[in-house]
Amino acid sequence: MTIALAIIGGTVVILGAATKIPPAAAAFLRACIPLIAAFQDIRDALRRQHDQDVTSARPNEDHERT
């Protein structure tokens, strides 16, 4: 009888905790959105900087033709 009550009690606790997982996961994903946006901004800034470096390092093509 004690084992059955322990199993029932454990099941109730586990099911109670399981109902909190989807809202917690959704809150976690919502919290990650600004982080992902920040990484995208950093990536874009690095690409712009790289493009500027490549453009400025390139010799002037007009002078090479003459």
Mean pLDDT within 24-37: 93
48 within domain boundaries: yes
Alpha helices (H) in 1-66, listed in sequence order: 2-18, 21-57, 61-65
Q: What is the pLDDT of residue 39?
A: 95
Task: Report the percent of the chain where pLDDT is more than 90.
Answer: 53
Confidence at 62, pLDDT banded by 50, 70, 90:
low
Q: What is the pLDDT of residue 54?
A: 78
24's tokens: 């917690």
Per-residue pLDDT for 47 more than 60? yes
14 within domain boundaries: no
- pTM score: 0.50
38 within domain boundaries: yes
What total of structural domains would you count in the chain?
1
Q: What is the pLDDT of residue 59?
A: 66
